[in-house]
Amino acid sequence: MSNKIPRVPVREQNPKIRITNFNEVSYGYSLYEAVLEASRCLNCKEPRCMKSCPVSIKIPAFINQVLQKNFTEAYKIISQDSLLPAVCGRVCPQEAQCEGSCILGTKGEPVAIGKLERFVADWSRENSVKFTSKATLNGIKVAVIGSGPSGLTCATDLAKIGYSVTIFESLHKAGGVLIYGIPEFRLPKQDVVEKELENVKSLGIKIETNVIVGRTVTIDELMSNEGFKAVFVGIGAGLPKFMGVPGENLNGVFSANEFLTRNNLMRAFDPDSDTPIYKGRHVCVVGGGNVAIDSARTALRLGSKVTIVYRRSEKELPARLEEVQHAKEEGIDFQFLSEPVQLLGNEQGWVNGVRCVQIKLGEPDESGRRSPVPVENSEFMIDTDAVIVALGTRTNSIVASTTPGLVTDSRGRIVVDENGATKRDGIFAGGDIVTGSATVILAMGEGRKAAKAIDNYLKNK
Amino acid sequence: MFRIIKKEELTPLVYLMELKADRIASSAMPGQFLIVRPSENGERIPLTICDYNRGKGSVTIVTQIVGVSSDKICKLAVGDSFTDVVGPLGRPSAFVKLTDEEIKKLSYVFVAGGVGAAPVYPQAKYLHERGAKVDVILGARNKNLLVMEEEMKKVCDNLYICTDDGSKGEKGVVTVILERLLSGGKQYSMGVAIGPMIMMKFVTISAKKFRLPLTVSLNTQMVDGTGMCGACRVSVGGKTKFACVDGPEFNAYDVDFEEAMRRQTIYRPQELEADREAGLEFGVKK
Ligand SMILES: Cc1cc2nc3c(=O)[nH]c(=O)nc-3n(C[C@H](O)[C@H](O)[C@H](O)COP(=O)(O)OP(=O)(O)OC[C@H]3O[C@@H](n4cnc5c(N)ncnc54)[C@H](O)[C@@H]3O)c2cc1C
Ligand SMILES: Cc1cc2nc3c(=O)[nH]c(=O)nc-3n(C[C@H](O)[C@H](O)[C@H](O)COP(=O)(O)OP(=O)(O)OC[C@H]3O[C@@H](n4cnc5c(N)ncnc54)[C@H](O)[C@@H]3O)c2cc1C
Ligand code: SF4
Ligand code: SF4
Ligand code: FES
C-alpha cells in the first residue's frame, strides 16, 4: 500500500549554517522526491484535504498529475484556484488547513501537500510554463488599492476578463507583506515574489508605486477625475500594536514592523543598502505568531542571541508549525507562559531589561484559547539590549477616513457584504482590511471573490 | 517621473531642488512632507515640501547635507531623477482649515533654525498671502547653514537674522531675539518653531515665559511615513503619537523633547560609520 511509505522529508539548510545567511531554509523537493511523495496520496473519492483548503485547490487531481510527471498539467489544475502557488506552498499554515485534514494524518503523517504545490510552482517557473493569455480589453478602468495578495489576485482576475486595471501601492515596491513582512529565508524575493509580480504585469496590469490613496489621491478623485468605474481596497492591516507597558519608547525597543521593514523592504542585512538596522546582543521578542518568529529568526541571522517571550504555552503558538520547529533548531530560546509588565532602561535611556510575570492558563476565552492569568509574586527579569514587539497588527484609517460613506467597524475594519461590496457604490474591499490579520491564502480568496462581484457590478451597470 | 528640473546651491551645505511629482503637487498643503529615495539602495528620507506648483506639477525641497543619504540627494543634478518620491505625508498645518477672514486677524511669529527655514517658508507664505501678520526669526550656527533669506523676505513683515558665530546677522541664538520681541511688547496670536530638536526645546522654554501658544514640527526618525512602523513615535501629552500621521506638528508644551532627542540617536553609531566609509567629514557635532 502506498501509504506505507513514510512522508518524504524535505532537504534543508543546516541550522548552524543557515543562521549566518538569509538564503531560503527549505530546498524543496527534487523531481524524484516529489513523485515519491505524490505516490502516498490515496486519491480519495471525497478528499477531506480539499475541504480544508480555503480556495479548494483540486488537491488529489494535481497530485495525481505529479505522480504521472505531468507537471504542466498539475500547474494548470492548481492555477484554476490559486494565483500564488509558489507563495502559498511556502507560507500556508498547512497543518491547520489542507494537511491538517488529510486522511493519512489520522494514523500517520499527512501528504506533504504544501511541498508538492511548491514543487509544481517552482518547476513551472524554472521551465517557463505560462498559459495566461491576454484578454481583449473592454476599456473599462478598475483601480486596485494595495498590492498584497488580495489586491494582486483581484487585479489578475479582472485583467483576465478584459478590464484595464491599475494597482496603486503606497510603498516603493509592490507585494505587500510578501515583500516587507515575510523574510527572504522563508520566501525569496527575487526568485519567487518578483517573478509572480512579473506574471501579473504581463497581463497588462499597471502598478503605480509611491501612491498613498487618501493622501496622494483620494478614491473619489480616482473615480471622478481619472475614470475608474470600480475600486477594490486591499490595503491590509499593517499598523503595529504595542504592549502599553511603561518603557516602550526607550531606545532599542522596536515594533516588529519597523524591524522587518528595515530588513526586508529596505534590505538592511545587505551591506550595499543605506538603511541601518539595530543589532542587539540579546534581543527579546514579545509574541508568538508568524511575525514574532520571523523577527526572532531575522535578529538571529543579524548576529543576536534571541529569546521569545510568549504568554501562552507552546501548544497555543499561532505561528506555522514548520517555522516553530525551524526556530528551535536554530537555537532560539522560548520563554513560555510569561508576559512583560515593564521595560527598564539605563541612564542613557536604552532598554536593558524586561520585567515579566509568569502566567497560568485559565478558562477558554471567546476565541477558544485559554486565557492567560498572571501568577501572583512571580516577577522575574530578562537581561536584554533590544526588544521587538510583535503582538499582531491593526488597521490603517487613511483610506476610510478620506472616503465618505465607507463604513468601518469598531476595530477599523471595512464593512462589506458577502460579495465584498462596501457601503459605497462601486467600492469593494477584501483581505486583512476586512478580516483583520489573517493569511495569504484567505486574502487571495477575498480578492478573487471581489473580482467576481466587481465584474457583476460593472456588467449590470 | 520625479525628474529634477531645477537645482540651486543655497550654501555649500544646503541645496534647493524642484522636481516633477504631479500627484504630490496637486494635493500638497503647508505643513506636509514627502519621502524620497535617492537611489536603488537608498534610504527613505523625509523632507518637507517647501513649495509646490500645481500648474507645473512640481514640488520644491531643501536639503542640508548631514550624512550619507542627504549627501546622495544633494549630488543629484538637473535632469536626474529620484528613484522614489512619495507624499504628501503628515497632517497639514492647523491654519489651513481657517477662512481667509479668520487668517487676516492673526499674527504669527516663526522661529526657523537652519534648514528649518524650508518648512517655515510655505507656512509663512500661505499666511502672508492671506493677510496675516508674519514675523520670521531665521537663525543658524553659521552663514553656511543660513538659507532662504531672500525668499523669506517676500513672505513676511519683519525678518530677523542671527548666527551663533555672528558670520551673518546678529550674533546670538534665536531665543534671544524671540524674548526681546516678546518683552518689547510684540503681541502674536501664535508661534511656530521648526529646527533642530534642541532649538525647539529652548524656544518652548522661552515662549512659555510669555504664554505664547507654540507649535513645533518634529523631525523624528521615519521609515514608511504612513503609520506602519512606529519608528517615529513620540510622547505628546503623556501619550504615544506617531509623528508621521499624527504630526509632524504638535503643541510644543505637550512634547517630551528629552525622549525625542534621545530617540534620534538610535542609529548614531551606524550613521557615523557610514559617514566614515563615504569619506564625509562634518566639522560639527550632529
Ligand atoms: C511578518 C509576517 C509574517 C506572516 N507570515 C504568514 C505566513 O507564514 N502565512 C500566511 O498565510 N500569512 C502570513 N502573514 C499574514 C499575511 O501576510 C497577510 O494576511 C496577507 O498578506 C494579507 O494580504 P492583504 O492583501 O490583505 O494585505 P497586505 O499584504 O498587507 O498588502 C496591503 C498593501 O497595501 C498597501 N497599502 C496600505 N495602505 C495603502 C494606501 N492608503 N494606498 C495604497 N496602498 C496602500 C500596503 O503598503 C501593502 O503593500 C504574515 C504577516 C506578517 C506581517
Ligand atoms: C517630517 C520631517 C521633515 C524634514 N524636513 C527636512 C528638510 O526639509 N530638509 C532637510 O535637510 N532635512 C529634513 N528632515 C531631516 C532629514 O530627514 C534628515 O536630515 C536625513 O534623514 C538625514 O539622513 P542622512 O543619511 O543624510 O544622515 P544620517 O547620518 O543618517 O543622520 C543624521 C541625522 O538625521 C536624522 N535621520 C537619519 N535618518 C533619518 C530618517 N530616516 N528619518 C528622519 N531622520 C533621520 C537623525 O536624527 C540623524 O541623527 C526632515 C525630517 C522629518 C522627519
Ligand atoms: S493553498 Fe494552502 S491550504 Fe490550499 S492546498 Fe495549497 S497549501 Fe494547502
Ligand atoms: S486527503 Fe490526503 S490522501 Fe486523500 S486526497 Fe487529500 S492528500 Fe490525498
Ligand atoms: S514613520 Fe513609520 S509609523 Fe511613522
Q: Name which of B186, B204, B189 is nearest B250 in CA terms.
A: B204
Compute the distance between CA of residue A176 and CA of residue A26 in angstroms, rounded to an integer: 22
Q: Is residue B129 part of a domain?
A: yes
CATH number of residue B207's parent domain: 3.40.50.80
CB distance B86–A248 less than 8 Å?
A: no
Q: Name which of A94, A267, A225 is nearest B23 in CA terms.
A: A225
Q: What is the pLDDT of residue A128?
A: 83
Contacts within 8 Å (CB) and 24+ apart, A396-400: A396/A235, A396/A236, A396/A237, A396/A238, A396/A239, A396/A433, A396/B226, A396/B227, A396/B228, A398/A212, A398/A213, A398/A214, A398/A215, A398/B226, A398/B227, A398/B245, A399/A145, A399/A213, A399/A214, A399/A219, A399/A233, A399/A235, A399/A433
Give the sign of the dihedral formed by CA A445, CA A447, CA A452, CA A453: positive
Q: Which residues on neighbouring strands pair with residue A351, listed in sequence order?
A: A345
* Cβ within 8 Å of residue B235, ≥6 positions away: A249, B241, B255, B256, B259, B260
B42 and B73 belong to one structural domain: yes
- Measure in Å the smallest separation between the Cα of B44 and chain A Cα atoms: 8
Q: Is residue B152 part of a domain?
A: yes
Percent of chain B with pLDDT over 90: 86
Compute the CA torsion angle A406, A407, A411, A417 (nearest 10 deg).
Answer: -100
A227 and A273 belong to one structural domain: no
Q: Is the CB of A98 under 6 A from ligand 3?
A: yes
- Last residue of some domain: B200, B217, B234? B217
Give the sign of the dihedral formed by CA B134, CA B35, CA B145, CA B234: positive
Q: Is residue A135 part of a domain?
A: no
A254 and A118 belong to one structural domain: no
Banded pLDDT at B283 (limits 50, 70, 90): very low
Q: Is residue A132 part of a domain?
A: no
Q: Which domain holds residue B133?
A: 94-217
Angle at A274 between CA B282 and CA B245, to 5 degrees: 95
A338 and A451 belong to one structural domain: no
B76 and B106 belong to one structural domain: no
B107 and B176 belong to one structural domain: yes
Q: What is the pLDDT of residue A105?
A: 93
| pLDDT of B236 strictly over 70 | yes
Distance of CA A341 to the CA centre of its chain: 29
Q: Is the CB of B228 under 6 A from ligand 5?
A: yes
Ligand 5 pocket test, candidate residues B219, B232, B240, most atoms within 8 A of CB:
B232
Q: Is the CB of B286 under 6 A from ligand 2?
A: yes
B188 and B147 belong to one structural domain: yes
CB distance B229–A398 less than 8 Å?
A: no
| CA-nearest residue, atom 30 of ligand 1 | A236
Q: Which residues on neighbouring strands pair with residue B8, listed in sequence order?
A: B16
Q: What is the pLDDT of residue A131?
A: 64
B84 and B22 belong to one structural domain: yes
CATH number of residue A45's parent domain: 1.10.1060.10
Q: Is the CB of B115 under 6 A from ligand 2?
A: yes
Q: Is residue B284 part of a domain?
A: no
For chain B, what is the radius of gyration of the CA atoms? 18
Of B27, B86, B262, the CB nearest to A170: B86
SS (H, E, C) B128-168: HHCCCEEEEEEEECCHHHCCCHHHHHCCCCEEEEEECCCCC
A268 and A376 belong to one structural domain: yes
Query: B235 to chain A: nearest residue by CA?
Result: A249
A164 and A251 belong to one structural domain: no
Interface predicted TM-score (ipTM) = 0.93
Weakly modelled stretches of chain A, pLDDT under 50: 1-2
Q: What is the pLDDT of residue B279?
A: 84
- Measure in Å the smallest separation between the Cα of B230 and chain A Cα atoms: 6
- Last residue of some domain: A126, A156, A179? A126
Compute the distance between CA of residue B160 and CA of residue B177 in angstroms, rounded to an integer: 8
A120 and A229 belong to one structural domain: no
- Measure in Å the smallest separation between the Cα of A83 and chain B Cα atoms: 26
Q: Is residue B267 part of a domain?
A: no
A248 and A382 belong to one structural domain: yes
Q: Is residue A136 part of a domain?
A: no
Measured between alpha carbons, how far is residue B161 from residues A404, B120, B168 in Å? Answer: 46, 14, 7
* Residue B42 in grid coordinates: 537608498
- Measure in Å the smallest separation between the Cα of B91 and chain A Cα atoms: 10
For residue A229, report the distance from its CA to the centre of ligand 1, in Å.
25
**Residue A432: how many CA atoms within 13 Å on its side-chain side?**
22
B67 and B126 belong to one structural domain: no
**Residue A345: how many CA atoms within 13 Å on its side-chain side?**
17
Q: Which contiguous run of DSSP H or E holds residue B176?
A: helix B174-183
Residue with cell 506574471: A199
Q: Is residue A451 part of a domain?
A: yes
CATH number of residue B56's parent domain: 2.40.30.10
Q: Is residue B159 part of a domain?
A: yes
Q: Is residue B82 part of a domain?
A: yes
A405 and A435 belong to one structural domain: yes
Chain B partners of A226 at a C-beta cutoff of 8 Å?
Answer: none
Q: Which domain holds residue A263?
A: 240-393
**Residue B52: how many CA atoms within 13 Å on its side-chain side?**
23
Residues in A 362-391 with any Cβ partner in B closer than 8 A? none
A336 and A423 belong to one structural domain: no
Q: What is the pLDDT of residue B129?
A: 93
DSSP letter string, A413-433: PBP--TTSB-SSTTEEE-THH
Average confidence (pLDDT) over B166-181: 92
- Last residue of some domain: B183, B217, B251? B217
Q: Into how many domains does chain A fold?
A: 3
Measured between alpha carbons, how far is residue A247 from residues A242, A251, B232 in Å? Answer: 11, 9, 16
Instruction: Count CB neighbours of B251 within 10 A.
Output: 14
Q: Name which of A441, A430, A30, A460 is nearest A237 in CA terms.
A: A430
- Last residue of some domain: B89, B117, B140? B89
A234 and A285 belong to one structural domain: no
Compute the distance between CA of residue A371 and CA of residue A369 in angstroms, rounded to an integer: 6
Per-residue buried b or exposed e for A82-94, using 16+ beta carbons within 10 Å of the residue's own CB: bbbbbbbbbbbbb
Three-state DSSP class for residue A50 = helix
DSSP letter string, A330-361: TT-EEE-SEEEEEEEE-TTSBEEEEEEEEEEE
- Last residue of some domain: A126, A161, A195? A126
CATH number of residue A339's parent domain: 3.50.50.60
Query: A272 to chain B: nearest residue by CA?
Result: B41
Measured between alpha carbons, how far is residue A333 from residues A286, A336, B223 in Å? Answer: 12, 10, 29
**Interhelix angle A113-126/A71-79, nearest 10 degrees:** 110
Instruction: Count CB neighbours of A96 within 10 A.
Output: 14
Q: What is the pLDDT of residue A1?
A: 45
Q: Is residue A168 part of a domain?
A: yes
Q: Is residue A432 part of a domain?
A: yes
B104 and B211 belong to one structural domain: yes
Q: What is the pLDDT of residue B280?
A: 81
Contact A216, B87 (CB under 8 A): yes
B47 and B103 belong to one structural domain: no
pLDDT tens by residue, B107-165: 999 999 999 999 999 999 999 999 999 999 999 999 888 999 999 999 999 999 999 99
Q: Is residue A112 part of a domain?
A: yes
Residues in A 264-303 with any Cβ partner in B closer than 8 A? 266-267, 270, 272-276, 278
| pLDDT of B286 strictly over 70 | no
- Last residue of some domain: A346, A377, A393? A393
Measured between alpha carbons, how far is residue A70 from residues A49, A61, A62, A63, A76 in Å? Answer: 21, 11, 9, 10, 10
Q: Into how many domains does chain B fold?
A: 2
B100 and B169 belong to one structural domain: yes
A33 and A113 belong to one structural domain: yes
Q: Is residue A131 part of a domain?
A: no
Q: Is residue B83 part of a domain?
A: yes
Q: Which contiguous run of DSSP H or E holds residue B245?
A: helix B243-246
Q: Is residue B43 part of a domain?
A: yes
Instruction: Count CB neighbours of B264 within 10 A.
Output: 18
A263 and A388 belong to one structural domain: yes
Where does residue B131 fall: left (phi above 0), alpha (psi -120 to 50 degrees), or beta otherwise?
left
Q: Name which of A258, A307, A259 is nearest A282 in CA terms.
A: A307
Q: Which residues on neighbouring strands pair with residue A191, listed in sequence order?
A: none
Q: What is the pLDDT of residue B285?
A: 43
* Cβ within 8 Å of residue A46, ≥6 positions away: none
B201 and B113 belong to one structural domain: yes
B65 and B170 belong to one structural domain: no
Q: What is the pLDDT of residue A369?
A: 78
Distance of CA A428 to the CA centre of its chain: 21
Contact B198, B261 (CB under 8 A): yes
The length of chain A is: 461
Banded pLDDT at B198 (limits 50, 70, 90): very high
B114 and B206 belong to one structural domain: yes
Q: Is the CB of A145 under 6 A from ligand 1?
A: yes
